[in-house]
Amino acid sequence: MFGIALEISVHDFKALFKNKKAILTGVASQFVLLPLVTFVLVYFINPIPSVALGMFMVAACPGGNVSNFFTHLSGGNSALSIGLTAIATLLAVFMTSVNLQFWGSLYEPTETILRSISIDALEMVKLVSLLLGLPLIAGIYVNHRFPVFAQKSAKILKMGSLVFFMALVGIALYVNRDVFMEYIHYVFGIVLLHNLVAFSTGFSAAKVMGLDKRDVRAITIETGIQNSGLGLLLIFSFFDGLGGMAVLTAFWGIWHLVSGLILGGFWGLRPVKKEGLA
């Protein structure tokens, strides 16, 4: 997050206030609609409890760092994407824990897991603050005080964060390799469906609100690309690397890179007209 924040300035937030409808739509799509449709999806497909809890975890996380790249690739509103990433990251300090506990508690099989583990919500908030909140604030501060240094460092740090993320995914899959090999076909279908639902949620919300095409593309990608790296860290910290949760979240981390590249590339071949018309 620090690497992403090095490219965010106070002026970015000021500019976003001129596009309040898009901001509210993006935030609502991520923290209200996605957890809600995930709950409905879990209810109907009835996955094993640990996988269901993994789906709730993914839906509770903020947008992933690579969403900004995919939005740029798609010809979407990059400024909106970056702003939503920053805002969602700050909100995630509280909302990730709230959404996981709330929706997980409404579904009896996952409520049983949550009750048996007895998660300390305050400890989760503290950890998310350390993982997301502080790096974001620090990055914005460094960009404000040392803009040249920030721009040069951002590319290196973002590449490093991607390497760290892939290593984290690799560790999660290795630790749960037996579970992964046993349930790969099962989890594969669920992740593809869940990711498609996430993209569709963002796209539908933005369309219903009458946003222009560039904003629609940004919100669609922000909703479909989730910070699964954060999810994995929380799973290892609070759920002892629970197999189904870890495998689903790790596989999401791999798949959303593929789906984001496909969607971004497809839209990139269909540039938005300057007047923003269809």
Domain boundaries, the chain: 2-268
How far apart CA 194 and CA 200 sit, in angstroms, is 10
With CA atoms as reference, report the closest residue to 248 among 191, 175, 197, 182.
191
pLDDT at 144: 64
User: CA 253, 127, 85 angle in degrees (round to 5)?
Assistant: 50
% of the chain residues with pLDDT over 70 = 72
Distance CA 175, CA 140 (A): 35
The Cα 61–Cα 132 span in angstroms is 11
C-alpha–C-alpha distance, residues 64 and 240, integer Å: 23
Is residue 8 a contact partner of residue 143, using CB atoms and an 8 Å limit? yes
**C-alpha dist (Å) from residue 57 to 82, 133, 172, 211:** 22, 18, 15, 28
Maximum Cα–Cα distance across the chain: 55
Q: Model pTM?
A: 0.82
Across-strand partners of 63? 226
Q: Does residue 8 carry a pLDDT above 60?
A: yes
pLDDT one-digit tens code per residue, 28-85: 999 999 999 999 999 999 999 999 999 999 999 988 778 888 888 888 888 788 888 8
Query: What is the per-residue pLDDT across 100-120, written as a single tens digit (0 to 9) for each?
Result: 999 999 999 999 888 877 666
Kindly state the average pLDDT of the residues 193-209. Answer: 96
pLDDT greater than 70 at residue 169: no
**Residue type at 272?**
V
2-268 to CATH, choices 1.20.1530.20, 3.90.850.10, 1.10.3370.10, 1.20.1630.10: 1.20.1530.20
Q: What is the pLDDT of residues 223-263, one digit of tens each?
A: 999 988 888 888 888 887 667 888 898 888 888 888 988 89
Instruction: Convert the pLDDT of each residue in 184-198 to its tens digit.
Output: 778 889 999 999 999
pLDDT above 80 for 22: yes
- Return the closest-CA partner of residue 67 out of 87, 55, 84, 92: 84
Q: What is the pLDDT of residue 93?
A: 82
> For 19, which DSSP code?
G
